[in-house]
Every structure is written in structure tokens, then in C-alpha cells.
């Protein structure tokens, strides 16, 4: 059976500091002006809410330092809660964007943000990979004082994670027959990437009709 939601579902991924959340904020503003029914859910927020309720973490950046078997369960729970909430609110006229990471650096290695048991619950039509030059990513990480990303600030590590993020996205897309769409977040104008993603929406709508 083909895995799809009633509403168009697009997962937007990118490594920490690439600016995907900022891109999505601009996307929401553009979509509102154009009359599109866009809803943006942050996957990490669902994970954090569940982990905090269980007394496992007090800060978002502690999630990726939890034991992997715990992260596995939290991912699965978050995916189910997210889709349950979206399904109760959205119709076929709506567009769901899920803000998450395709690859996560943990103390025991790289961890897929969209393993098969998660992506099959989310059922995306497409997985977007947002990219930026490594130097720009390092600068954005340094500016964001709300997050603890001190272990991610090496430029060679950033380059590696950019490659791994694409590989992870293709692997996840294979599990559900989704497309992979790569966009560049240009420093100083995230609206460019936002409009590229909205072009994808139109293409997917055309494929659906």
C-alpha cells in the first residue's frame, strides 16, 4: 500500500545552522500572502515535549545525547503524535511542512532523523534538503545563543554532515516513494529558498491532480 496522507506533506531537513527554520518562517509569510493553507510542525518540539514529560531532558539539545534506544522510542512517539494532530486539523486543501533533521550527531555516531519506522508514519510526498556553504553554517551556529552546538562547529564536520544529510534523505525517501528536493539557502535572503520550496508545492499539486 502506498503511504500518503490526505494533505500534502513535505519534510524539510537540514543540518543545524543551515537556516531551515528561518526559511520556513519566510515560506509561511509568503504562503499567507498567496492564500495557501500552510502548517509548519517542528518534529523536535514533539520529541522534546514527550521527553520532558518523562523527566529525561530539560533542554532541546539534550535530546541527541540520550541513549539511542530512548531516542528511537521518542522518535516513534513524536511521529505518531504529530500525524495524529495534523490529521485531526488538516484537510486535502492544506499543506503540512515538517521541520526536522535528516542526520543527527550523537555521542555514539550519526543517527538518522527519519529512520524507516518514523518516515512510514509521517508519509511525506517529498523530503527537502536545505543546504548552505559550510562557512555560512558555522557563522549561523555561532550567532544562535539559544542552542548548544559547540560540538558541531568544525568546518570539516559540517561538510561531512551536509553529505550525510543528502544520503539520509534519499534513504528515507526510498522507504515511502517520496521525492528528494535540494534547495540552497542564500545568506542574507532566505526567501529565495522559501520560494523554491513553494515551487515544489505547485509541482506536487500538479502530480496529485
Domain coordinates of the chain in residue numbers? Answer: 8-202
127-154 residue pLDDT tens:
999 999 999 999 887 776 666 555 567 8
Q: What is the pLDDT of residues 58-73, one digit of tens each?
A: 998 899 889 989 989 9
pLDDT at 102 over 90: no
Mean of pLDDT values over 10-20: 94
Please state which CATH number belongs to domain 8-202: 3.40.50.300
Q: Mean of the pLDDT values across residues 189-202? A: 96
**What does the pLDDT read at residue 134?**
92
- As a whole number, the mean pLDDT across the chain is 92
Question: CA triplet 180, 181, 184: central angle to 5 degrees?
Answer: 140
Question: Quick one: pLDDT at residue 61?
Answer: 84
Higher per-residue confidence, 106 vs 38: 38
Kindly report the pTM of this predicted structure.
Answer: 0.91
**What pLDDT shows up at residue 106?**
84
Amino acid at each position: 500500500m502506498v503511504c500518503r496522507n490526505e494533505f500534502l506533506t513535505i519534510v524539510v531537513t537540514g543540518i543545524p545552522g543551515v537556516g531551515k527554520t528561518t526559511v520556513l518562517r519566510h515560506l509561511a509569510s509568503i504562503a499567507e500572502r498567496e492564500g495557501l493553507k500552510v502548517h509548519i510542525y517542528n518534529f523536535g518540539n514533539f520529541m522534546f515535549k514527550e521527553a520532558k514529560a518523562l523527566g529525561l531532558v530539560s533542554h532541546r539539545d539534550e535530546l541527541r545525547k540520550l541513549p539511542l534506544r530512548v531516542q528511537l522510542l521518542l522518535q516513534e512517539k513524536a511521529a505518531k503524535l504529530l500525524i495524529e494532530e495534523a490529521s485531526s486539523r488538516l484537510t486535502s486543501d492544506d499543506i503540512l511542512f515538517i521541520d526536522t533533521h535528516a542526520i543527527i550527531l550523537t555521542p555514539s555516531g550519526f543517527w538518522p532523523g527519519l529512520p524507516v519506522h518514523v518516515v512510514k508514519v509521517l508519509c511525506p510526498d517529498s523530503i527537502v534538503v536545505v543546504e548552505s556553504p559550510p562557512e555560512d553554517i558555522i557563522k549561523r551556529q555561532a550567532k544562535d545563543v539559544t542552542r548548544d552546538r559547540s560540538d558541531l562547529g568544525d568546518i570539516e564536520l559540517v561538510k561531512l554532515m551536509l553529505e550525510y544529510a543528502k544520503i539520509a534523505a534519499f534513504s528515507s525517501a526510498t522507504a515511502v516513494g517520496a521525492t528528494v528536493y535540494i534547495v540552497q539557502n542564500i545568506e542574507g535572503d532566505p526567501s529565495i529558498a522559501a520560494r523554491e520550496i513553494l515551487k515544489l508545492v505547485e509541482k506536487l499539486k500538479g502530480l496529485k491532480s
